[in-house]
Structure 1
Amino acid sequence: MSLWKQPSKLAMVVVLLLLLCHAVDKVHCSTHHNNSQDFHSLLEFKKGITSDPHGALSNWNPSIHFCHWHGVNCSSTRPYRVTELNLTGQNLAGQISSSVGNLTFLHTLDLSNNSFIGPLPLLNKLRNLDLLFLGSNHLEDVILDWLTNCSNLVYLDLSKNHLTGHIPPNIAFLKKLEGINLYGNYLSGVIPPTLRNLSTLLLVDLSNNQLNGSIPNEVWQIPNIQMVNLAINNLSGGIPDTFTNLSSLMILGLDHNMLGGTLPSNIGDVLPHLQGLYLGSNLFFGTIPTSLGNASNLEVVDLPNNLFSGTIPSSFGNLSKLQILNLEVNMLEARHSEGWQFFDALAKCRYLVILSVSHNHLHGPIPNSIANLSTSLQQLFMGWNNLSGIVPPTIGKLSGLTKLSLENNNLIGTIKEWVRKMTNLQVLTLQSNNFIGKIPP
């Protein structure tokens, strides 16, 4: 009798297990790996890991269904294909196995902020891939043409690696691409003009590389572009006078290059949605276009270390959202009251936090209108000019100042009358003037 009952109990257990697996079908039964290709591809990826300090892969073993492994997400129905592999910020080290390229249903691959080395993995089979994040690793070698096989790619981030060589021109085959981030590599050569063909492109960050040549005119023709960051390269040439198709642009970063020439006189009119303009450390010359005052969304105007001359446009006062105006190290002038009118105008910029006009050719007394600047102002830099006379005592109304720089001018008088009122002041630079008296405690 006992021999007959035992197999019956076993049969009941098997039936119960099958029922249980069916009941939890949507979260996958952990006793059976429905897709051996994805299972083995993930195990091959794990073999390439030489360091896992946080134990991110500690539950990657056959006793648990791979869809429950840390960082793995799968489709909700059989045969349960891997759709996402996300192991960002786990300090993983080793090489990224090209077995990842066999996860053909993958939509998101995020291995950013780790310590992976070696070349980029071969991912030419991932035609469903939408998001590829491999930034902030130590990957090297070149960007190969296989990348264009990922025809559904929407966002590509290979930033902060050690990639070399050129940017492949056929990257324009990625017709759905909205964002490309190659910041912080060692890429050389020219910017591919073919970027113009990416009508979906919104964000381009090629900064902090070794790109050279001029900026192709085609870059100024990308129809829906919102951010162009080409800073910290070896780019030359200038900004064309004729670009008219950038009404969607919000951020333009061209600082730390060798760009020159004058700025288009209508730059503020053709960039009506511009929020940040970064042109510092180049060779731009001529006057600063007054039309910048028409770009009413501008929050940052950063033009230091150039050769700009003439007066500072009073039209900056039209920028009600302006927070940072940095014009230091240029040849801007203020010799008469007309040249100082920008101070009166900036009184309307109630969100202004940083104002720097140091290292220019500003002459004469500091206008009393300095007291009308926003109380939100935290940093004011006016050193290395030809300022003279006393500092208006009303400057003490700028109670929010934490840094004030007036060094290397010809200022005279005492300072105790206004310094005492600046209760938040942390840095005060006054050397190489003709002040008298003591700094109050």
Structure 2
Amino acid sequence: MHNPNISFPPPAGMSNRSTFLHRNFLNLLTFSFLFLFVSLSKANELEALMQFKATLQKSNSNAFDTWTKEYGICNFTGIVCDSNQNVTEINLVGQNLSGTVSFDSICSLESLQKLSLGSNFLFGRISDHLSNCTSLQYLDLGFNSFSGEVPDFSSLSQLKFLNLNGSGFSGLFPWKSLENLTGLTSLSLGDNLFDRSQFPLEVLKLEKLQWLYLTNCSIEGQIPEGIRNLTLLENLELSYNHLFGRIPDGITKLTKLYQLEIYSNGLSGKIPEGFRNLTSLTYFDVSSNKLEGDISELKFLTQLKSLQLFENQFSGEIPVEFGDFRFLEGLSLYTNRFTGHLPVKIGSWAEFKYVDVSENFLTGPIPPDMCKQGKLKELLVLQNKFSGPIPENYVNCSSLIRLRMNNNSLSGMVPRGIWSLPSLSIIDLTFNQFEGPVTLNIGEAKSLAQLYLANNKFSGELPDTISEASSLVAINLSSNQFRGNLPAKLGELQKLTSLHCEYNLFSGIIPYSMGSCVSLNEINLASNSLTGEIPASLGSLPSLNSLNLSDNKLSGEIPARLSSLKLSLLDLSNNSLVGHIPDSLAISVFNNSFDGNSGLCSENIRNFRPCSPISGTSRGSRTFIFCFTAGASIIILSLACFIYMKFRYNNQDASMNRRDSWDMKHYRALSFSEEEILRELKTENLIGKGGSGNVYKVVLHNGKQLAVKHIWKSAYGDGMSFRSSSSILAKGKRYSPEYEAEVTTLSSVRHVNVVKLYCSIMSEDSYLLIYEFLPNGSLWDRLHGNQKIKMDWMVRYQIALGAARGLEYLHHGYDRPVIHRDVKSSNILLDEQMKPRIADFGLARILQVDAARDSTNVIAGTLGYIAPEYAYTSKVNEKSDVYSFGVVLMELVSGKRPVEPEFGENNDIVQWVFSTMRNKDNTVNIVDSSISEALREDAAQVMRIAIHCTARLPALRPNMRMVVQMLEEVEPCKLTDIVVDIETDKGKNQGQVQ
């Protein structure tokens, strides 16, 4: 390149004027060349950015709206230039971008120093072209869905910041390539499915590191003593790995640490001496290890905000100095062996948000000031040996959400203000020695969902105002000294699922209003002094599974309506009941349920006298009864003939009357009438029973097949013919929650992978939903049930992808996502070509804008599919569906049910998969052995996606759009060779809507 500051002599013999012109010409040539060079450079940068843009798909993003020639490169959204107008930074974090990244185009930007693409929906493998970005100092690809192995970073020697956290990579991480990155100050590689490896010693050479995040990286072995070399570290996170042995003494040299997290490993031994040197430590978490000894070294760490030591074997006393800590917000010491008192001053200065010291051997009183600053949300001291009363101070703790003090030796009266705390969701005081009443102000506890007071000495009457605590889900007052009547308005507790009042002194009648507690599945009023009759209204409870009224003074007959209940436990023993035991209850499983009622009779249960309606009557009485019965029969027959003739000669009017009693709503073009549907709802057409109703197969006159779901109503039993039930149907139009949810969702859905709803039919006593009929039943049937068939991976993959696309449409196809809330293999139906449809939206609902309205205190879903966050939150969102779908993927890959005996007690398929992968190097080991050898690796890749979907933290799960993209990327090579081997009788198509 010509330098304009260097003089060149003019050619010999040239005049001064010529010399002047010559020099100007050279300068003009130089500047023209520079201008052309810069122009070409800008053109190249523009082309590179346009290529990068072209590889990405915009999704609800306006990130590229300014990426046009009119704006100029340096005005593009996310682009930063230097003073020479060269691109130095691309920052598109969290822009909802999806697609594969063109690193060959990006790395042609020679001045690029910072590339930030984190928190998007990017996928695919990272090409080797990334190694050409040799000027990069900052690289953020975290929280995406890339696949394959991490490329070699050796050439990126200028890197200071590297974030691949939660980015989807797998395989063996190239630890060796880090040796050249000696300038790194921040390294985040956590939450990826890397192959297991020893603690990477290469990291110990990166002495400029200030941030090291290697949580959930499949690292095993011991933390090396050489960790002491990283003296600039401020954050060290090594949690959820396979580390064992002692915490090295070298950690005590890292005096700049403000956060140290090494939880969920297998670490043992004591906290090392010298730990007191870490005086800057603010967040310390070594929970879920095997650590032991006392924690006296921690009493010097006065800057602590969060201290997590739970699930270890620590012992000794809790340092009294903790009472002077001013910044402590979270203290979790549960499941250890601590003894002595909880420091009396604890909380005097600190703005505690939660305290959990449960499952230790602590004694003495409850410290009074843990909510002194008014921020405490959770106070959990259960399973210790605390004594004395609840301090009066806590009546002012309006922030408190969870109060659990069960299994202690606490006593005295509960301060009146505790019962009415506005945010309190759970009060658990069971197994103590509390006494006195539940006060009237409990009706003000509008957030109270769980009230557990069992095994105390509470007394007095249960106030009627408890029916105003409208969020109550569970009440357990058993083994106390409550007396008086049960509140007459208990039926107003519409969310109540469990009521335990056994072993008290309650008297009076069982409130008839309890028949309105539509969510009740468990009632236990045993061992009281209740009188009067059993309310027939209890037979209207659609979910009631357990009913225990034993050891009372109940009289009268057993209501016939109890026959409609689906009970697993029934105990009416030791009362004063009389009359006939309903035949549907007189079964072997309930053989002892009626003992101690001498007035009962039954033809089916031994030890009870037979019911003889004419025994003990005179001959004249029998004659009268016979004549009366015969006369009544003649009248009934005559009336029946009259009705038949009227129907025959006035069919048109009758048909019109029948139509008038039904409300049919069309959602698609129909070729049938409601009469044609109603005619076919017969026992012989019943093909399935689900949690919310019977399902019938209906064949129309034109040969078209439909599935008709008859929603359960509390007024009639599940085995009853639809036509014959009208005489005992409940009066007044009542809407079933399942009906409303299913219709609201399905009536607006138009997607090839969501079951079609043709119409709904409603009367004042029944609800019908008419769907397309899918002849191959459900995925559960084909994988696990009596219709199980051999399915190779090609078929299973297509089912997985189709079902994912259906859920993607529900989550992303509306302004607000549709949450299914019961995703499982039995709710994925299969058509004649084994293509899937998402079905059964009985639990679905449109997500409300106000998140508070989306919470529920009733766990929705099915065992084995329920997301773990239900254990600590009542929020429902799309990530709960994603978890359930991940379980379905695990079923498809492994062939196993969500819950199997081989998984061990209290374990499910998710825990089994994680455990198996942690103990074996090859994911292929958990693939169903019936899948052909050539496709087992393809199946294993889907299992890796399933693991992403079932991450314990919802934030680490992909959304359904990302799941679809990941599944599309692992598509098997020869989908055209799919062979569907359906080994079943085509005449036995069952299992339509579960």
Structure 1 position 279, deviation (Å): 0.7
Query: 3-state DSSP class of the match of 1:73?
Result: strand
Calculate percent identity across the aligned residue pairs. 27
The aligned residue for residue 405 of structure 2 is 406
In the superposition, the TM-score normalised over structure 2's length comes to 0.38
Does residue 256 (structure 1) correspond to residue 264 (structure 2)? The answer is yes
Query: 3-state DSSP class of the match of 1:37?
Result: helix
Q: Structure 1 pair 418/114, CA: closer, same or farther in 2 (3 Å)?
A: closer
Query: 3-state DSSP class of the match of 2:410?
Result: strand
Q: Structure 1 pair 277/81, CA: closer, same or farther in 2 (3 Å)?
A: same
In the superposition, the TM-score normalised over structure 1's length comes to 0.82
The gaps in structure 2 that reach 5 residues or longer are: 1-30, 443-994
Structure 1 position 305, deviation (Å): 0.9
| CA deviation vs aligned residue, 1:204-257 (integer Å, no higher than 9, x gap) | 111133222222222233021000011122222220245442111110001111
CA contact (8 A) 2:403 2:426 kept: yes
CA contact (8 A) 1:202 1:225 kept: yes
CA contact (8 A) 1:82 1:103 kept: yes
CA contact (8 A) 1:87 1:112 kept: yes
- Written as runs of structure 1 = structure 2, the 5 A alignment for 1:236-315 is 236-241=244-249, 243-268=251-276, 270-288=277-295, 290-315=296-321
2:268 partner letter: G
Does residue 159 (structure 1) correspond to residue 181 (structure 2)? The answer is no
Q: From the two aligned structures, give the one with the greater helix fraction.
A: 2
The aligned residue for residue 109 of structure 2 is 103
Match of 2:56 among 49, 52, 57: 49
Match of 2:372 among 371, 374, 379: 374
Query: 3-state DSSP class of the match of 2:148?
Result: strand
Query: 3-state DSSP class of the match of 2:253?
Result: coil
Query: 3-state DSSP class of the match of 2:154?
Result: helix
1:87 partner letter: L
| CA deviation vs aligned residue, 1:311-356 (integer Å, no higher than 9, x gap) | 11213234222222210111111xxxxx21x422425443333221
Alpha-carbon separation, structure 1, partners of 2:52 and 2:422: 58
Alpha-carbon separation, structure 1, partners of 2:429 and 2:130: 59
Query: 3-state DSSP class of the match of 1:380?
Result: strand
- Written as runs of structure 1 = structure 2, the 5 A alignment for 1:35-114 is 35-61=42-68, 65-77=72-84, 80-99=85-104, 100-114=106-120
Greater displacement, 430-439 / 372-381: 372-381
CA contact (8 A) 2:227 2:251 kept: no
Alpha-carbon separation, structure 1, partners of 2:417 and 2:365: 14
CA contact (8 A) 2:379 2:404 kept: yes
Structure 1 position 33, deviation (Å): 5.7
CA contact (8 A) 1:238 1:261 kept: yes
Match of 1:134 among 137, 141, 148: 141
CA contact (8 A) 2:325 2:350 kept: no
| CA deviation vs aligned residue, 1:60-115 (integer Å, no higher than 9, x gap) | 445654333332233332xx422111222221111111221221210111111211
Query: 3-state DSSP class of the match of 1:224?
Result: coil
Q: Structure 1 pair 331/167, CA: closer, same or farther in 2 (3 Å)?
A: farther
Does residue 219 (structure 1) correspond to residue 227 (structure 2)? The answer is yes
Does residue 353 (structure 1) correspond to residue 353 (structure 2)? The answer is yes
1:356 partner letter: D
Alpha-carbon separation, structure 2, partners of 1:392 and 1:124: 64
Superposed CA RMSD: 2.8
Structure 1 position 192, deviation (Å): 1.5
Task: Point out which structure has higher relative CO (alpha carbons under 8 A, 6+ apart).
Answer: 1
Alpha-carbon separation, structure 2, partners of 1:63 and 1:415: 72
Does residue 436 (structure 1) correspond to residue 441 (structure 2)? The answer is no
Query: 3-state DSSP class of the match of 1:194?
Result: helix
Structure 1 position 201, deviation (Å): 0.8
Q: Structure 1 pair 51/32, CA: closer, same or farther in 2 (3 Å)?
A: same
Greater displacement, 293-302 / 49-58: 49-58
The gaps in structure 1 that reach 5 residues or longer are: 1-21, 23-27, 334-338
Alpha-carbon separation, structure 1, partners of 2:131 and 2:428: 58
The aligned residue for residue 188 of structure 2 is 181
1:110 partner letter: S
Q: Structure 1 pair 218/242, CA: closer, same or farther in 2 (3 Å)?
A: closer
Alpha-carbon separation, structure 2, partners of 1:352 and 1:49: 46
Query: 3-state DSSP class of the match of 2:436?
Result: coil
Query: 3-state DSSP class of the match of 1:149?
Result: coil
CA contact (8 A) 1:167 1:192 kept: no
Which structure: larger Rg?
A: 2
CA contact (8 A) 2:282 2:306 kept: yes
1:199 partner letter: E
Q: From the two aligned structures, give the one with the greater strand fraction.
A: 1
| CA deviation vs aligned residue, 1:37-81 (integer Å, no higher than 9, x gap) | 32332222223224444243244445654333332233332xx42
Match of 1:115 among 117, 121, 131: 121
Structure 1 position 136, deviation (Å): 1.3
Query: 3-state DSSP class of the match of 1:40?
Result: helix
Alpha-carbon separation, structure 2, partners of 1:372 and 1:110: 43
Alpha-carbon separation, structure 2, partners of 1:170 and 1:58: 38
Q: Structure 1 pair 182/424, CA: closer, same or farther in 2 (3 Å)?
A: same
Alpha-carbon separation, structure 1, partners of 2:175 and 2:282: 30
Q: Structure 1 pair 435/85, CA: closer, same or farther in 2 (3 Å)?
A: same
Structure 1 position 138, deviation (Å): 0.5
2:137 partner letter: D
Structure 1 position 434, deviation (Å): 3.3
2:346 partner letter: L
2:86 partner letter: R
| CA deviation vs aligned residue, 1:139-166 (integer Å, no higher than 9, x gap) | 1222222x13122211111111111222
Alpha-carbon separation, structure 1, partners of 2:79 and 2:407: 61
Q: Structure 1 pair 266/32, CA: closer, same or farther in 2 (3 Å)?
A: closer
Alpha-carbon separation, structure 1, partners of 2:278 and 2:438: 47
Query: 3-state DSSP class of the match of 1:200?
Result: coil
Alpha-carbon separation, structure 1, partners of 2:43 and 2:393: 77
Q: Structure 1 pair 419/70, CA: closer, same or farther in 2 (3 Å)?
A: closer
Q: Structure 1 pair 291/97, CA: closer, same or farther in 2 (3 Å)?
A: same
Alpha-carbon separation, structure 1, partners of 2:55 and 2:271: 51
Structure 1 position 126, deviation (Å): 2.1
2:116 partner letter: D
Alpha-carbon separation, structure 1, partners of 2:305 and 2:343: 17
1:98 partner letter: F
CA contact (8 A) 2:215 2:239 kept: yes
1:108 partner letter: K
Alpha-carbon separation, structure 1, partners of 2:370 and 2:309: 24
Structure 1 position 134, deviation (Å): 1.0
Query: 3-state DSSP class of the match of 2:272?
Result: coil
2:88 partner letter: T
Alpha-carbon separation, structure 1, partners of 2:246 and 2:179: 24
The aligned residue for residue 206 of structure 2 is 198
CA contact (8 A) 2:112 2:135 kept: yes
| CA deviation vs aligned residue, 1:246-294 (integer Å, no higher than 9, x gap) | 11111000111121111113312x2111111111111111112x12121
The aligned residue for residue 878 of structure 2 is none
Query: 3-state DSSP class of the match of 1:362?
Result: strand
Q: How many pairs are equivalent?
A: 401
Structure 1 position 196, deviation (Å): 2.2
Greater displacement, 423-432 / 163-172: 423-432
Match of 1:232 among 233, 240, 260: 240
